[in-house]
Amino acid sequence: MSSSILEAMIVASLTGGSILRKYFEKENFSVIQKSVSYDLVTNIDKESQEGINAILSKHFPDIPVIGEEGSIQTGKQSQAFYVDPLDGTFNFVHKYPFFSVSLGYWENNEPVIGVVFDPVRRDLFYGQKGEGAYLNGERIHVSDRTSLEGSYLVTGFPYKEGKHPRIEKEIRSVMKLTDLRVLGSAALELCYVAKGIIDGYWEYDLSSWDLAGGVLIAQEAGAVVTSPSGGSFDLIEGDVLAASPVIHQKLLEALKY
């Protein structure tokens, strides 16, 4: 069963990705501001969601889909697909080639399968619980760096200002040790932790569809995934810290400032 779910999720992610690739760098899409000036949605996000939902519901009509741009309700509560049809819309609109399609499949509030597709590089990341994480068929692992000094750390800024004072302090603390980046697609950032490119990543106030696929891929590549204060990761809370075990411990200390 789960291998056929993985197959359907891969087909769905490639379908969404081909829609994004078709419109990327073209001008013929409409952009709507959702909250702040950098919280955007386009008609392409919606077209990608429709393509993905059609595939998932055709193969698994009983499993609900929780999608950023459109959900499918069914009677089932114990299983769900979480779908972000375009993670990194701000980048997409600005023609910055770092965005993804993200799918997570969860059972009983536990991650089982993650699929994240980067349509620009044609990078297909996926993982299944207990079976490792892969990029285009090759097994991937978190970085083996042991020191925060000089490591590649990534964060992001929530749309709501509530957590900004805390993040400002965290940035000051971390930047005594190394540089810091904001790349703009939470799902892909988690996959770059899985690939060992990013040594550590944390962010607040994300949504379930941003995280549901990437956290499983990161965990299966050997990452520790918790909240940024070290508590257990909660998909609905949406606060995340992901890194190799060694960097995770050191980053937790650094974030206490």
Q: What does the block give as tokens for 172?
A: 């000051």
Nearest to residue 117, comparing CAs of 81, 91, 85, 89? 85
Q: Closest CB to ligand IPD among 53 and 185?
A: 185
**Strand 110-118 versus strand 224-226 pairing type:** unpaired
Rule CB under 5 A: say whether 47 interacts with Ca ion.
Answer: no
Q: Supply the minimum distance, in Å, between the C-beta of residue 203 and ligand IPD.
A: 6
Residue at token pair 């993040």: 167
- How many other CB atoms are found less than 10 A from the CB of residue 141? 15
Q: Supply the minimum distance, in Å, between the C-beta of residue 40 and ligand IPD.
A: 7
- How many other CB atoms are found less than 10 A from the CB of residue 196? 18
Region for residue 184 given its phi and psi (left: phi exceeds 0; alpha: psi -120 to 50; beta: otherwise): left
Rule CB under 5 A: say whether 210 interacts with Ca ion.
Answer: yes
Q: Supply the minimum distance, in Å, between the C-beta of residue 223 and Ca ion.
A: 19
Q: Is 191 exposed, middle or buried (0-12, 13-18, 19+ CB in 10 A)?
A: buried
- Terminal CA-to-CA distance of the chain, rounded, Å? 46
Q: Supply the minimum distance, in Å, between the C-beta of residue 156 and Ca ion.
A: 10
Residue at token pair 């607040």: 204
Residue 254 binds what, of Ca ion, ligand IPD, none (CB under 5 to 8 Å, by partner type)?
none
Residue 65 binds what, of ligand IPD, Ca ion, none (CB under 5 to 8 Å, by partner type)?
none
Stretch near Ca ion under the rule CB under 5 A, chosen from 65-73, 133-141, 215-223, 237-245: 65-73
Q: Closest CB to ligand IPD among 41 and 246?
A: 41
Q: How many residues does the chain have?
A: 257
In the region spanning residues 106 to 135, those forming contacts with Ca ion, defined by CB under 5 A, are none
Interface residue with Ca ion among 5, 9, 67, 68 (CB under 5 A) is 68
Stretch near Ca ion under the rule CB under 5 A, chosen from 63-71, 118-126, 133-141, 142-150: 63-71
Interface positions with Ca ion (CB under 5 A)? 68, 84, 86-87, 210
